[in-house]
Amino acid sequence: MSVDTQLPEKSTRASHFDVSMFDGSTLTNRFALPALLLFASGFSALVFQVVWVRQLSLIVGVDVYAVTAGVSAFMAGLALGALFLGRAIDRSENPFRFYALLEAGVALCGMAVTLALANFAAPFAIIEDSAAPVAWIIVFALVGLPAVLMGGTLPALVRSINASTSDIGLKGGGLYAANTGGAIAGTLVAAFLLIPNLGVSGTAYAAAALSLVAAAFAIGLGKSYQAQSNAPANMNSRPFSGDVRLALVLYSAAGGVALGYEVIWTQSIVQFMSTRAFAFAIVLATYLFGLAAGSAFAARWVDRVRDHWSAFGLLIAGAGFIALGGIAFLGSWIIMLQSMAEYWLLQLTGNQLAAMSARFAVASAIIVLPTTLLLGAAFPFALKLVVEDGRAGSGVGLVSGWNTLGSIVGTILTGFVLVPNFGFVGSFGILAVAAAAIGLIAVFRNVATVGWQRIGAASICVLTLAVAFLIPSDRFASLLPGAHNGKLVFYEEGLGASVAVVEQGRDRTFRRLYIQGVSNTGDSLPSLRYMRLQALLPLITMQKQPQAAMVVGLGTGITAGALLAYDGLNQRVAAELLPGVKRAAALFNGNLEAASSPALDIRLRDGRRELLASQDSYDLITLEPPPPSAAGVANLYSTDFYRLAVARLRPGGMVAQWLPLPTQNDEDTRSLVRSFINVFPHATLWTTELHEMLLVGSLEPMKLDVGLMSARFEQPDVRRALQEIGINSLPELMATFVMDREGLEAYAGNAPPVTDDDPRIEYAAWVRPDTFSTVLPKFMDLAREPQLENAGESFIASMKEEREVLYTFYSAGLSAYRGDRDNWQRNAAFVSAHAPDNAYYAWFFGGSPR
């Protein structure tokens, strides 16, 4: 999914300034000051985009259509600003003041839009229900208006430095690098510093403050530079030449190819990276760095090149060939280099996040950087082909505007057409061939082109076609980490993400679900246990008779399938973001054929959007999203989301939230607990597996009536489903109770909650190696017995015995983590002796229940 796919084009629009018209220290100063302004513009624009795309995901959803539509609105605003403000800039007597007005407008609109989007989710759902076009027009207007102003900042500063056709490449390339440098800084600072410390709104306000400072600075520059500025350009009505129009079309197509690459990289590179926000920020920063470095390098010699058509064409064609060729050479050697970089940086810094960031940077540098260097180098040549004397503002606006429009088209075509129909490799091949075609047209456009240039372009085209046909279509599937020691039984490269199912194990096989190359879950017995309990435990313990239940996240289908085992439900709903996951679910054991059951309504929509847009209400909403630290997932663990879930609960209903222990540090787990109990006055915590917990909350007291629970437990399908995962009796189920609200309050302490505006868990520190073995004992120390109604002495005694066995098993697990073999053997022997018929314990100890 993806925030980062569009930023390079914003950077494209803002980077040209005049160097050659000055000399000595004056040259340095007059070059540096506009560059500084463009750096600030690039920084603030990138930060605003990150913030708004994140806010839009809470309004329109996180599916690929919604995200693309929201980002396209931003891109369209940039394009319109570049295209239509350029002429006004050329007529401006003081382009610095023009820039100041634009940047001040960006700041004010940016703050207003951030505030509006923060409160627009519910109104959007209401308006969309009755007038969908109106709702989307409002979204486009909110995001697009400030983007229009951003689109004019580059042409304004190019106009301010009196660029001409003789030096536009040098000046344009330099400003492009400056603006893109600001975007790089914005990418990294937003992810590593601003959002973790200031939250989403605070980050936007920081960007607005920077824009206001830039505007004030530009006003001062306008006064001091006014004497050196040219008179307003001679605007005449003559049309641009045919060569200019062709260059714009080709550069627009090149923009589509470039963003097409970025769409595929975003989905395919994750298996070498991580789903953390830091990883995606580093990928985007690498992309932008390639554009900036390529442009800066090419700007130094562009004005000395005679044949700009051939240079432009060869760069675009070469970028396509390198992008495709890079896929052919992907392999385990990248992982080896990543491991080396991670190891050495960890030794130097002792910082796990820094070490992992080095790992991400290696993969990005190998896969993304070479192509973007050539794409960035093409920009100064595009300026040379388009910009005419007296039309610096409009010329630069046309270049960046048309390129941005092409980027929008490329993003949509690649994400919605190419990848679903041709996969990653096929899409790369098509884009590379398109790049080669662009190169051929450009090289052959100049009749004076020498033979070697034409031969070179034709050779690139032939080689590109050959490589496109030779690379196996399952190239990325073969690189899946789990596929090396397993059997790939399902693989699909589709809308939004790749989905794979890998069969692993020898003596006892099980299957794992991979999304974007990252393992999510599987159908091994431990996974089967926690996912079935995710649904059946709250259904059994609920005071009222549940009739409607919803699962957020289909995954393997096991949790949703558990709903099928429970009699009495007349509505079962599962919300799933990815169509590929729905198709893959049929391949997992233990889900009671949920994917094909007519009793389960699978809705292909992200869970938050489903709750926001649908008026259905439920007795149980059980949440099984990806781990909370994954990018874009914090919005399913926030207090704001829980309040939304409460609004869809029927009286006496419950919300159950999966709480994994190994995926975040102790302080972050405390924040997750705080988020939950801040919304639910009645909350309990249960342990569903060694590594997993389950938070259950309600607005009303949750009584545990043994008589009522016994009747539900004894439902034949429920009892069978629980026995298969090592829950053989109701006392054994009650033994998984950990604590009530009092205990949760003690554990959470003063930890700040996760909110939509403060998604701290997504930007938290890297997980420490000893996290699990530290957090689980804390919960065990705080554990207490449940308050049961209608429970006899024998029931309580049996529950205590089962609790002792369970906690001894957990102690064995902790001993294994700590390398304490003697204690592990002693505890394992105790568990095996006291629970010989338990399938769950037997799975770990290598036996089978008797």
**Torsions phi, psi for 233 (to 5 deg):** -60, 150
d(CA 384, CA 164): 9
Residue 307's pLDDT is 86
Q: Residue 623: pLDDT above 80?
A: yes
Mean pLDDT of 151-165: 75
Pairing, β 571-576 against β 601-604:
parallel
Q: How confident is the model at residue 44 (pLDDT cuts 50, 70, 90)?
A: very high
Q: Residue 167: pLDDT above 70?
A: no
Tokens of 133: 């076009």
Q: Could you tell me what percentage of the chain is helix, strand and coil, using 3-state DSSP and rounding each to the nearest 5?
A: 65, 10, 25
Highest mean pLDDT among 151-165, 294-308, 661-675: 661-675
pLDDT in tens, 397-436: 888 889 989 999 998 898 888 888 898 889 999 999 999 9
Mean pLDDT of 602-617: 91
Residue 306's pLDDT is 82
Q: Residue 368: pLDDT above 60?
A: yes
Q: Residue 803: pLDDT above 80?
A: yes
Pairing, β 649-660 against β 704-705:
unpaired
Residue labelled with tokens 């082909």: 385
List 548's β-bridge partners, or say none.
Answer: 571
Residue 806's pLDDT is 97
Burial bucket for residue 789 (CB in 10 Å: 0-12, 13-18, 19+): exposed
pLDDT in tens, 644-689: 999 999 999 999 999 999 999 999 999 999 999 999 999 999 999 9
Q: How confident is the model at residue 6 (pLDDT cuts 50, 70, 90)?
A: very low
Q: Are 667 and 624 in contact (CB under 8 A)?
A: no
Q: Are 178 and 37 in contact (CB under 8 A)?
A: no
Q: What is the DSSP letter of 326?
A: H
Residue 283: C-alpha distances to residues 256, 327, 353 (Å): 19, 16, 15
Contacts of 102 (CB under 8 A, 6+ apart): 85, 149, 150, 152, 153, 156
Burial bucket for residue 347 (CB in 10 Å: 0-12, 13-18, 19+): exposed
d(CA 758, CA 108): 22
The one-letter amino acid code at 100 reads: A
Residue 456's pLDDT is 80
Residue 233's pLDDT is 46
Q: Are 640 and 634 in contact (CB under 8 A)?
A: no
Give the number of other CB atoms < 10 A from CB of residue 593. 13
Residue 515: C-alpha distances to residues 262, 266, 268, 521 (Å): 18, 13, 10, 10
Q: Are 252 and 147 in contact (CB under 8 A)?
A: no
Residue 447's pLDDT is 62
Residue 26's pLDDT is 44
pLDDT in tens, 697-740: 999 999 999 999 999 999 999 999 999 999 999 999 999 999 99
Residue labelled with tokens 């109604």: 789
d(CA 739, CA 684): 6
Tokens of 429: 């091949």
Residue 70: C-alpha distances to residues 75, 136, 414 (Å): 9, 9, 16
What integer best gives the mean pLDDT of the chain? 87
d(CA 839, CA 848): 7
Q: How confident is the model at residue 392 (pLDDT cuts 50, 70, 90)?
A: low
**Torsions phi, psi for 22 (to 5 deg):** -125, 165
Mean pLDDT of 23-42: 72
The one-letter amino acid code at 177 reads: A
List 656's β-bridge partners, or say none.
Answer: 622, 696
pTM of the model: 0.88
d(CA 45, CA 12): 12
Residue 802's pLDDT is 96
pLDDT in tens, 558-596: 999 999 999 999 999 999 988 999 999 999 999 999 999
Residue 183's pLDDT is 92
d(CA 63, CA 447): 48
Highest mean pLDDT among 116-125, 284-293, 539-548: 539-548
Burial bucket for residue 765 (CB in 10 Å: 0-12, 13-18, 19+): middle
Of all residues in the chain, the percent with pLDDT exceeding 70 is 91
Burial bucket for residue 797 (CB in 10 Å: 0-12, 13-18, 19+): exposed
Mean pLDDT of 493-507: 84
Contacts of 232 (CB under 8 A, 6+ apart): 90, 91, 92, 93
Greater confidence (17 vs 711) lies with 711
pLDDT in tens, 238-256: 566 778 889 999 999 999 9
Which phi-psi region, left, alpha or beta, contains residue 417 (left: φ > 0; alpha: ψ -120 to 50)? alpha
Range with the poorest average pLDDT among 132-141, 295-304, 386-395: 386-395
Q: Are 89 and 99 in contact (CB under 8 A)?
A: no
The one-letter amino acid code at 467 reads: V
Contacts of 23 (CB under 8 A, 6+ apart): none
Q: Residue 90: pLDDT above 80?
A: no
Q: How confident is the model at residue 128 (pLDDT cuts 50, 70, 90)?
A: confident
Residue 812's pLDDT is 95
Q: Are 148 and 4 in contact (CB under 8 A)?
A: no
DSSP string, 197-253: HHHHHHHHHHHHHHHHHHHHHHHHHHHHHTTTSPPPP----PPPPHHHHHHHHHHHH
Q: Are 720 and 561 in contact (CB under 8 A)?
A: no
Q: How confident is the model at residue 389 (pLDDT cuts 50, 70, 90)?
A: low
